[in-house]
A and B are shown apart, each in its own frame.
Chain A
Amino acid sequence: MAKTIIPFGPQHPVLPEPIHLSLTVEDEIVTQAVPALGYVHRGLEKLCDIRDYHHMIQVVERVCGICSKIHAMCYCHGLEEMMQVEVPPRAKYLRTIWSELHRVHSHLLWLGLFADGFGFEALFYQLWKIRERVMDINEATTGNRVIVSVNVMGGVRKDLSLEQIRWILSELELVESELKALESTILDDYTVKERTVGKGMLTKEQAYDLGAAGPTLRGSGIAQDCRQLNYAAFSDLEFEPVVEYDGDSYARSKVRYRETLQSIDLVRQALHKLPDGEINVKVKGNPEGEGVARVEQPRGELFYYFKGNGTKHLERLRIRTPTFANIPPLAAMLPGIELADVPVVVLSIDPCISCTER
């Protein structure tokens, strides 16, 4: 059978952001996939040369729109550890609440895009309609829907009133009940299963050896989640990683569906336990030495490396995002599948190219 090379992307109906895959195809079967990047590279890490370490919070928030809050939390958490800053407990809880709200809206966004990717537009509209409630919570509590910009060094810059807490809890009840009403469609519908079960297989061993992260790792049966590191307020909350074992696109979507409900529960727990007190402390001095930080983004493990030299500018900031880690596993998932399944499998890692290239 003759080989044909088919370009997939950088502009493609299922891709919200540009990535190019060079697919080698024999008949209708993909035999090789080579990724190519470079369409949205901005060199944001290097901005630490000209922005001081406080201003860099706004820069890292713009690495990715959908999980901007979690980038800022990872950055602040890492530098606070390096500078031995004790963050007030209330600030830790508030960080947890907004980061889990980000996970909810990110997973709902992805579940909708995934449904749209295989032509299930009614499900896409329903999921995005539910997501709007979370966006409203973000807007009402922080002043913005996506880039919420609540983190500062030493804590957060916004607080929640009792009235807002009651309203968030009532909105989350609605998000949860509306999402559960769609559960049988998301998990059991004939179309969903036909397009996702057995597609884009990644075994447990492959996922581990290739360095997969997040739902891509947990969908292959590995129970690892950086929230187990107990940053922010996670040490006070009941939490177990969500794991599925089949390693296909369906397992990865099931992990995200279950994590959405889990995050709603985590927000609820944090709101009920929210301690009184300060929401930030003033941070003096400049970072010096080396450190790393890891937190769990909606797409998986986010890793930051810092090197400070005692000045207001970091000497080196390195960001490894989960999609960056999930590109090699994607290259391993594609060989052996039909060309028509490529868009669904690519979407199944929840690719964020803006994060990947920074």
Chain B
Amino acid sequence: MAEAKTTEKKIPVLATQAVENDNLKAEIRRLKSEGYRLVTLTCVDLDEEHVDLLYSFDKDLEMVHLRMQQPKSTPAPSISDILFGAFLVENEIQDQFGICFDGLVLNFENYLYLEEEVARTPFCKYSVIRKDAQ
């Protein structure tokens, strides 16, 4: 078996645009008006206090990603009122990471997948007791 070429490898970085709670919805509206289609949201556990929320969009097979660093203790703004398709993934993130979304149009209140007896957030490395949905 041959070996993979090992010439000067760079650590890949995902090109993202940083957003914050205040301007997230404006950016989502801008992308929608420019003809971008929501692919998905991805939640990445960073530390005991924060997660990254990545919003991935596509237009003509080109992707753009918004990145919002979100404190676990405060609710993130839901984009499901702008893009209804986001409601399912926002509910999934509520289940798995305990992040609450403000204004979620169809809210399963942390029980999309999980049963009520599950008290912890299963996808957090730094597990926290789940918050009640807002």
- B-contacting residues of A (Cβ < 8 Å)? 34-38, 41, 43, 45-46, 49, 81-86, 88, 154, 208-211, 224, 226, 228-229, 278, 280-285, 288-292, 294, 301, 303, 305, 307, 315-316, 318, 320, 324-325, 327-329, 332, 357
CB-based contact A226/B61 at 8 Å: yes
Any chain A CB within 8 A of the CB of B68?
Answer: no
A-B contact pairs, 20 of them (CB 8 A): A43-B122, A45-B123, A83-B4, A208-B37, A209-B37, A211-B39, A211-B83, A229-B61, A280-B1, A282-B4, A284-B3, A303-B56, A305-B54, A316-B45, A318-B42, A320-B40, A324-B40, A325-B85, A328-B84, A328-B87
Given known contacts A45-B123, A209-B83, A82 and B56 CB-to-CB distance under 8 angstroms: no
CB-based contact B40/A325 at 8 Å: yes
Interface bracket on B: 35 or more
CB-based contact B84/A210 at 8 Å: yes
Any chain A CB within 8 A of the CB of B28?
Answer: no
Given known contacts A209-B83, A327-B88, A316 and B44 CB-to-CB distance under 8 angstroms: yes
Q: Which residue from A283, A329, A332 sits with its C-beta under 8 Å from B4?
A: A283
Q: Is the interface of A mostly helix, strand, loop or mixed?
A: mixed
CB-based contact B85/A290 at 8 Å: no
**Chain B residues near A81 (CB-CB < 8 A):** 12
Task: Looking at the assembled complex, report how far the CB atom of A229 sits from the nearest CB atom of chain B, in whole angstroms.
Answer: 6
CB-based contact B12/A82 at 8 Å: yes
Report B39-50 CB contacts with A as 1/0, cut-off 8 Å.
110111100000
Q: Which residue from B4, B88, B112 sits with its C-beta under 8 Å from A86?
A: B4
CB-based contact A282/B14 at 8 Å: no
Not counting A292-B65, A324-B89, a sample of 17 additional A-B residue pairs whose C-beta atoms are within 8 angstroms of each other reads: A37-B112, A38-B113, A49-B125, A81-B12, A209-B84, A210-B83, A211-B37, A211-B40, A211-B85, A224-B61, A278-B1, A289-B12, A291-B12, A291-B14, A301-B39, A318-B40, A328-B88
Q: Which residue from B9, B88, B114 sits with its C-beta under 8 Å from A324?
A: B88
CB-based contact B38/A211 at 8 Å: yes
Given known contacts A37-B113, A209-B85, A289 and B1 CB-to-CB distance under 8 angstroms: no
CB-based contact A83/B39 at 8 Å: no
Q: Which residue from B4, B11, B88 sits with its C-beta under 8 Å from A289?
A: B11
Bound-state CA distance A37–B39 (Å) is: 20
The 4 closest A-B pairs by CB, nearest first: A211-B85, A320-B40, A290-B14, A289-B12
Bound-state CA distance A294–B14 (Å) is: 14
**Chain B residues near A283 (CB-CB < 8 A):** 4
**Chain A residues near B12 (CB-CB < 8 A):** 81-82, 288-291
Interface residues of B in 1-35 (CB under 8 A from A): 1-6, 9-14, 32
CB-based contact B56/A292 at 8 Å: yes
Bound-state CA distance A316–B14 (Å) is: 14
Bound-state CA distance A88–B4 (Å) is: 10
CB-based contact A320/B14 at 8 Å: no
Query: Nearest A residue to B122 by beta-carbon distance?
Result: A43
CB-based contact B4/A284 at 8 Å: yes
**Chain A residues near B129 (CB-CB < 8 A):** none
Q: Which residue from A84, A282, A289 sits with its C-beta under 8 Å from B3?
A: A282
CB-based contact B2/A282 at 8 Å: yes
Bound-state CA distance A357–B61 (Å) is: 25
Bound-state CA distance A285–B86 (Å) is: 36
CB-based contact A305/B42 at 8 Å: yes
Any chain A CB within 8 A of the CB of B106?
Answer: yes
Given known contacts A208-B37, A281-B3, A41 and B123 CB-to-CB distance under 8 angstroms: no
Task: Looking at the assembled complex, report how far the CB atom of A234 sits from the nearest CB atom of chain B, in whole angstroms.
Answer: 12
**Chain A residues near B119 (CB-CB < 8 A):** none
Task: Looking at the assembled complex, report how far the CB atom of A33 sits from the nearest CB atom of chain B, in whole angstroms.
Answer: 11
Q: Which residue from B13, B39, B56, B123 sits with its C-beta under 8 Å from A46?
A: B123
Bound-state CA distance A318–B51 (Å) is: 14
Bound-state CA distance A318–B92 (Å) is: 12
Bound-state CA distance A35–B40 (Å) is: 18
**Chain B residues near A301 (CB-CB < 8 A):** 39
Bound-state CA distance A318–B14 (Å) is: 14
